[in-house]
């Protein structure tokens, strides 16, 4: 294969833990992050949990000479926390807000207020169109009894949909961010298998960083052992993923993570470790690309399809669990609301009957009367709001489940037709753009 | 040009006005719509305002033999109301919920509860990949003083973003739906100019229907003159738009609308008129496409870019108006909340002072005390919820404005470089996929 050009691309990703007054040493850590970025001059910097726009702007100012182009993605009440700084001009941006993202009344978890989303920035790197995605998924607070799992699975489903559908025109795709999923978690498998994204940690030629590429480690002073649960040394939940195309091949030459402490500083950059991937893009001319076109064997393609069917089916099961749970919650809200209404009527009846019958001053103690009425109203308002919220949650879960069912049907149809697919393989879509993922139709 | 193949494609779009108990003759009209679709056997049926899933399912059952493939897009509390029925297998679907969609407390308008969105279904029509979009934008209740205009402009912005970013791999794009915008409204111009979508009413060779292609007409018995305002005869707000690619050219041979009454029936299908576009797809081989490649003159391309810059700038101004309004609303909510809190403290102080000083029974009348306290709490809760809502609205408006600013900058940069663009034009992205829109980078 004759490569026409080779370009290096250094990508950085960090969850900044930027909650003012709650995150420890926030201003000092931002100063450290700014210094690091100025010094390292990565091509693309993807940040998460930049909850304050002020912090984005002060970093922007600091990085004005090294990273002249930037974008801050806004979403939710205080989010989305996603930011990108780059050496390459950003031509276009787009934001997809996940339809499910926790519960507003779980204010101590705060995810709902963050308006979790996936941001897309389109850059030109040399002659290549690069789709750069940055995202942050719902946190996992308790792995054993993870009530947010259906939400995170739906987020992973929407993330892969967004990437698949928006990247057809791209020559390379890079996704960086805090997925809040272990490497073999359902959502992660779903994302990788359906999009064809490759993990730079698994692909790298050389690695320097925490054991197993972990990004939330026990050695980080901001991390308590409780957060890590049974994973004593740490977990890997932050990623830089990439996908090449017929116009460019991507290799990961080197990957590194920070290791929980920073030389000459009393504390690390964040509670998460920062990732750096040194990628090499080898661009190819169209003729070379066509000559080099990788043809997947029929068995391998069928195997990949079958794997995807299994994963989507597993995801569907998880969404169904979420549906069942949301239905139960809505039912509880409805029942409580009805009880509140009944109590209100009962109170009014008790108060009204003696007054009507005797025409005298009502015997119901006034204080209790008003307190009880206020309580009933509070119950009614709260349960009404909860009913609305759970109905929206149900719609989103049902919507995701419908889409998954349709996808499984479509994949199975293709799988059934596999032995017959060969005669038509020459009609296959020409390989402009990205390498096909398992989802792309063959016809 | 040698056409290798010609395929007819009949597309239908209708806003069904399917609000049970509120819309007149809802079940009868659904029966009529079902009969029409069974008889006409369009290739693709795009429906809006199918608010009840039961109606979707009963239509699905009725159309099982003529339109075996269908999808219902779920969103919001009762929405999204979007449905698609088709003869061609649906391979994949995706839904984008607009970030802004009215206000929940404007319950009589109901748009917020509808969870307005744009649905995408991907079909294979012969050897072509077709991206079919169906959408419904926020209604316009008062054209002179349209407080929802910034929301609708942001919806149009997100719609064009969604279509542009998801259609790179498509050979043809069709968008049908109720845009709630007149043909020359800002959002409509933004949508058409940025995506390159063409209006089947303007493009059709033959037309049979209401004057000027109107879809909300005075002759429809469900429409009151008040709704049409100064437009006595009616307005055109429903559309079928399309875009071809280098692999297929699309022609609109015939277009029709219903005319406010249905022969042998006492009332029409809906308060909107139904649209039918008879499209003809002429597929081309890759070699033909390359030979035929349309090259836009530099002047025309620069003119198109300049027009888009103007339109996006106009949209940005409208979003800024929305921002100003949302900021004022949030300020009002905050001030009211603070006043509620002050009132509560005042009440507690008045009640506590004599009691502390005299040690006697408090002189504050008990009924008034509880009523006032309940009022204060109600104010606090309501203003808190409003504050959260307006903050989210602000974030979305700011996000859209940021994206527009970036887009204008990027477009202007390209516009500045125009006289120098010619020498590089041979490096331009090969015309696989769709014809380039004004937004697509040239490099």
Candidates A249, A243, A247, A433; CA nearest to B432 is: A433
Quote the tokens at residue A312.
């989507």
Contact A217, A233 (CB under 8 A): yes
pLDDT at position A422 is 43
DSSP reduced 3-state for B5: strand
Strand (E) or helix (H) holding A152: helix A149-166
Q: Phi first, then psi: what are they for B329, rounded to 5°?
A: -65, -40
Quote the tokens at residue B391.
């903050």
In whole angstroms, what separates CA B335 from the centre of its chain?
34
Rounded (5°) CA angle A76-A78-A81: 90
A157-194 CB burial, b ≥16 within 10 A, e <16: bbbbbbbbbbbbbbbbbbbbbbbbbebebbbbbbbbbb
Is the preceding omega at residue B80 within 30 degrees of 0, hence cis? yes
- Contacts with B, A 118-177, CB within 8 Å: 120, 122, 124, 127, 129, 161-162, 165-166, 168-170
Candidates B3, B34, B38, B41; CA nearest to B16 is: B34
pLDDT at position B368 is 82
Q: How confident is the model at residue A181 (pLDDT cuts 50, 70, 90)?
A: very high
> Under an 8 A CB cutoff, do A115 and B71 touch?
no
Q: Provide the residue-wise pLDDT of chain B in tens; the chain has 443 residues.
A: 444 688 999 999 999 999 998 999 999 999 999 999 999 999 999 999 999 999 999 999 999 999 999 999 999 999 899 999 999 999 999 999 999 999 999 988 889 999 999 999 999 998 899 999 999 999 999 888 899 999 999 999 999 999 999 999 999 999 999 999 999 999 999 999 999 999 999 999 999 999 999 999 999 999 998 888 899 999 999 999 999 998 999 999 999 999 999 999 999 999 999 999 999 999 887 666 666 656 677 888 899 999 999 999 999 999 999 999 999 999 999 999 999 999 999 988 888 877 666 655 656 677 788 888 889 999 999 999 999 999 999 999 999 999 999 999 999 998 888 764 443 433 434 334 565 666 765 44
The terminus-to-terminus CA distance of chain A in angstroms comes to 28
| Least CB–CB distance from A395: residue in B75, B429, B430 | B75
- Round to whole Å and give the CA distance between B342 and B336: 10
- Round to whole Å and give the CA distance between A217 and A270: 11
> Under an 8 A CB cutoff, do B406 and A92 touch?
yes
pLDDT at position B295 is 65
Contact A78, A22 (CB under 8 A): no
Quote the tokens at residue B191.
């949508």
Candidates B315, B98, B82; CA nearest to B193 is: B315
Residue range A250-265: mean pLDDT, rounded: 94
CA distance A376 to chain B (A): 12
Give helix A149-166 / helix B149-166 axis angle, nearest 10°: 70
Closest CA in chain B for residue A161:
B94
pLDDT at position B18 is 94
Mean pLDDT, chain A, whole residue set:
90
β-strand B5-15 against A275-283: which pairing, if any? Answer: unpaired
Strand (E) or helix (H) holding B249: strand B248-257
> Under an 8 A CB cutoff, do A396 and B168 touch?
no
Strands of A42-161, DSSP E: 44-48, 69-75, 79-86, 90-97, 117-125, 128-136
- Round to whole Å and give the CA distance between B56 and B72: 7
Closest CA in chain A for residue B99:
A97
Which chain B residues are within 8 Å of A122, Cβ to Cβ?
A: 441
pLDDT at position B256 is 97
Quote the tokens at residue B43.
């290739």
Spatial strand order in the sheet of A117-125:
A90-97, A117-125, A128-136, A172-178, A238-243, A198-199
Candidates A229, A146, A160, A166; CA nearest to A188 is: A160
Closest CA in chain B for residue A370:
B370
Quote the tokens at residue A180.
């809040």
pLDDT digits (tens, 9 = 90+) for A120-173: 999 999 889 999 999 999 999 988 889 999 999 999 999 999 999 999 999 999
> Under an 8 A CB cutoff, do A129 and B429 touch?
yes
CA distance A132 to chain B (A): 13
Quote the tokens at residue B82.
């979007």
* Residues 6 or more apart whose Cβ sits within 8 Å of residue A300: none
In Å, how far are A168, A373, B91, B293, B324 from A163, measured between CA atoms? 9, 51, 16, 29, 34
B15-37 CB burial, b ≥16 within 10 A, e <16: bbbbbeeebebbeebbebbbebb
Q: How confident is the model at residue A417 (pLDDT cuts 50, 70, 90)?
A: confident
Query: Which residue out of B42, B272, B324, B424 is catalytically annotated?
Result: B272
Radius of gyration of chain B (CA): 26
Query: Which residue out of A67, A136, A272, A424 is catalytically annotated?
Result: A272
pLDDT at position A3 is 47
Q: How many CB atoms lie within 10 A of CB B349?
A: 10
In Å, how far are B58, B181, B234 from A82, measured between CA atoms? 43, 33, 45
Closest CA in chain B for residue A366:
B367
Phi-psi region of B360 (alpha: psi -120 to 50; beta: other; left: phi over 0): beta
DSSP reduced 3-state for A386: helix
Quote the tokens at residue A262.
């920073």
Output the furthest CA–CA distance in chain B (Å, rounded): 102
CA distance B374 to chain A (A): 7
* Secondary structure letter of residue B7 according to DSSP: E
pLDDT at position A2 is 47
For residue A431, pLDDT over 80 is answered with no
> Under an 8 A CB cutoff, do A99 and B94 touch?
no
Q: Phi first, then psi: what are they for B58, rounded to 5°?
A: -70, -35
Q: What's the fold here for domain A3-294?
A: Deoxyribonuclease I; Chain A (3.60.10)
Domain limits of chain A?
Answer: 3-294, 308-426
pLDDT digits (tens, 9 = 90+) for A348-391: 888 887 766 665 565 667 778 888 888 999 999 999 999 999 99
Q: CA torsion angle for B109, B111, B113, B119 (degrees, to 10)?
A: 160
Q: Is A272 a catalytic residue?
A: yes
For residue A10, pLDDT over 60 is answered with yes
* ipTM value for the complex: 0.92
The terminus-to-terminus CA distance of chain B in angstroms comes to 28
- Round to whole Å and give the CA distance between A17 and A141: 16
- Round to whole Å and give the CA distance between A251 and A412: 32
Residue range A223-246: mean pLDDT, rounded: 92
In whole angstroms, what separates CA B85 from the centre of its chain?
19
* Residues 6 or more apart whose Cβ sits within 8 Å of residue B331: none
Size of interface A-B (CB pairs under 8 A): 151
* Secondary structure letter of residue B259 according to DSSP: -
- Contacts with A, B 89-118, CB within 8 Å: 89-97, 99, 104, 115
- Round to whole Å and give the CA distance between A212 and A148: 25
């Amino acid at each position: 294969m004759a490569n026409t050009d080779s370009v290096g691309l250094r990508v950085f990703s960090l969850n900044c833990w930027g909650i003012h007054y709650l995150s420890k040493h926030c201003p000092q850590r931002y100063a450290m992050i700014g210094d690091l970025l100025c010094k390292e001059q990565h091509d693309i910097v993807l940040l998460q949990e930049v909850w304050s726009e002020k912090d984005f702007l002060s970093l922007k100012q600091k990085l004005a000479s090294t990273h002249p182009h930037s974008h801050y993605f806004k979403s939710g009440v205080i989010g989305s926390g996603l930011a990108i700084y780059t050496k390459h001009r950003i031509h276009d941006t787009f934001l997809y807000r996940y339809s499910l993202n926790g519960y507003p009344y779980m204010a101590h978890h705060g995810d709902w207020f963050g308006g979790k989303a996936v941001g897309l920035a389109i850059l030109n790197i040399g002659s290549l169109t690069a789709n750069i995605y940055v995202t942050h998924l719902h946190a996992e607070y308790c792995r054993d009894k993870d009530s947010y799992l259906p939400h995170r699975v739906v987020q992973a489903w929407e993330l892969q949909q967004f990437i698949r559908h928006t990247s057809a025109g791209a020559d390379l795709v890079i996704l960086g961010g805090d997925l809040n999923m272990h490497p073999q978690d359902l959502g992660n498998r779903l994302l990788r298998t359906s999009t064809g994204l490759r993990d730079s940690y698994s692909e790298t030629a050389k690695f320097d960083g925490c054991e197993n590429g972990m990004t939330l480690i026990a050695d980080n002073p901001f991390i308590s052992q409780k957060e890590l649960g049974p994973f004593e040394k740490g977990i890997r939940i932050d990623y830089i993923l990439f996908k090449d195309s017929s116009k460019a091949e991507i290799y990961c030459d080197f990957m590194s993570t920070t290791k929980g402490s920073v030389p000459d500083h009393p504390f690390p950059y964040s509670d998460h470790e920062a990732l750096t991937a040194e990628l090499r893009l080898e661009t190819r001319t169209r003729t070379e690309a066509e000559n080099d076109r990788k043809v997947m064997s029929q068995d391998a393609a069928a195997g990949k399809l079958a794997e995807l069917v299994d994963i989507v089916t597993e995801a569907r099961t998880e969404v169904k669990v979420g549906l069942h749970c949301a239905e139960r919650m809505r039912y509880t809200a409805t029942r409580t609301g009805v009880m509140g209404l009944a109590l209100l009527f009962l109170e009014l009846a008790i108060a009204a009957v003696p007054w009507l019958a005797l025409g005298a001053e009502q015997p119901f103690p006034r204080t209790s009367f008003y307190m009880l009425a206020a309580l009933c109203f509070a119950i009614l308002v709260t349960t009404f709001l909860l009913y609305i919220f759970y109905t929206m949650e149900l719609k989103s879960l049902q919507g995701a489940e419908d889409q998954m069912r349709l996808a499984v049907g479509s994949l199975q149809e293709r799988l059934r037709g596999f032995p017959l697919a060969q005669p038509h393989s020459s009609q296959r879509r020409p390989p402009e753009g990205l390498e096909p993922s398992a989802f792309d139709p063959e016809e």
